[in-house]
Amino acid sequence: MDAIDLILAKREGRRLSDEQIDWFIGSYTEGTVVDEQAAALLMAILFRGLDPDELTRWTQQMIATGTRADLSSLARPTVDKHSTGGVGDKISLVLCPLVAACGAAVPQTAGRGLGHTGGTLDKMETIPGWRSTLDPAEVARILGGVGAVINAAGPDLAPADGKLYALRDITGTVESIPLIASSIMSKKIAEGTGALVLDVKVGTGAFMKDVARARELSEVMVGLGAAHGVRTTALLTQMDVPLGRTAGNALEVVEAVTVLAGGGPSDIIELTLALAQEMLDLVGLDADPAAALADGRAMDTWQAMVRAQGGDPTAVLPRAAEVELVAAPATGTLSKLDAMGVGVAAWRLGAGRARKEDDVSPIAGVVWRATVGDHVEAGQPLIELHLDDPARLPAALDALHGAIEVSPTPVNPPKMILGRVT
């Protein structure tokens, strides 16, 4: 095999053979194919694509560079959720214990934030003592008892994806749908779940800006799940407006706990229950997630999950010493609260990272006291900027320029569920 042959074949629109795919994924992971050649092949794939058989084989080989967890010994059916990333998206913190409280096992492998989108691990690590890295035996033990775990991906979970993802990030090939799909699904399939619900975000604050492209990605990922024996469905959900009322690590944990306690914003509750019902339906559990949220079972499971991973669910989380207020510019209905603007503001305050190796602030972030569809009065405090470094404030304020609009006439909040793919 020769990398140049693969590059030329795909550049010319020809199909890669199973043997070529197997050789490339293995050789690049081992380091015998150099970055320059791999980058050229990824660019050819960006323009020429991979057909369904190619993509299935590509994903299979990415999984095969590591190990695929076996959770078949669990008494509970296994199901997980993956979000393509948004602003204020603390859904996993509520959803994992909620679905576990309904009888499933949720082996969630989560990631860290990058850019304007937050990371579940960064949020959970604001809880004193909580550990993100568990060995397979610990994961199985917690799933068998509590029913839910939120865990960092280990080095044996599709290691090919780590190399390919880093290369895509610096070579302008991130947006290729086959490469996005194989990246997401290789890790989710390798974690050992029997079923998967995808939350594919659509809008200004999402990677996918329009419904048509989000649906295309969803269809490809659902097909990959089926090809690898993982029952998979997808919901397309809005991300023009950020979720809930907070974006930032400790801020989002506090909001998630508020939802688990029976309160919280209606959009968080709506999306959480919709995803929970999808997950339960996939594994054939006849349970009412709304009841489990209302009667405290989800909260009990949250506390048990946090304790099982070394955390203190009763600890008071860190708060910002400095909060800057941004006022509503006019009286009327809030008609725009741009998710990208809010996410970038939180990132610039320190809640996110520009590079994977950067540290994040546990306390930095943004709170909005109203959302699209709410009435506001001119001059009322609308946005709170939570910070620990005053030097970051000007850049965060600049990110909000043009992100807020007020209409003199009523405006409906955006529809949460935009579509479903099975």
Structure-block tokens of residue 277: 């019902």
Whole-angstrom CA distances from 300 to 13, 97, 228, 297 are 54, 8, 34, 5
168 is catalytic: yes
Catalytic residue among 48, 90, 168, 228: 168
Ramachandran assignment for 161, one of left (phi > 0), alpha (psi -120 to 50 degrees), beta (any other): alpha
Catalytic residue among 92, 183, 186, 218: 183
CA distance 156 to 134: 13
CA distance 194 to 324: 46
Catalytic residue among 187, 201, 228, 231: 187
Query: What is the number of residues in the chain?
Result: 422
82 is catalytic: yes
Catalytic residue among 57, 82, 231, 392: 82
CA distance 14 to 284: 42
Q: What's the DSSP call for residue 380?
A: S
CA distance 110 to 341: 24
Buried (b) or exposed (e) across 297-323, using 16+ Cβ within 10 A?
Answer: bbbebbbbbbbbbebebeeeeeebeee
266 is catalytic: no
Q: 149: buried, middle or exposed (CB in 10 Å: 19+, 13-18, 0-12)? A: buried
Helix (H) or strand (E) holding 368: strand 365-368
356 is catalytic: no
300 is catalytic: no
Which amino acid does the sequence have at 183? S
Positive or negative, the Cα torsion across 195, 339, 204, 373?
A: positive
Helices in 246-338 by DSSP H: which ranges? 249-260, 266-282, 289-294, 297-308
If we measure between CA atoms, which residue out of 272, 397, 267, 374 comes closest to residue 325?
397
Catalytic residue among 80, 89, 122, 161: 161
Catalytic residues: 82, 161, 168, 183, 187
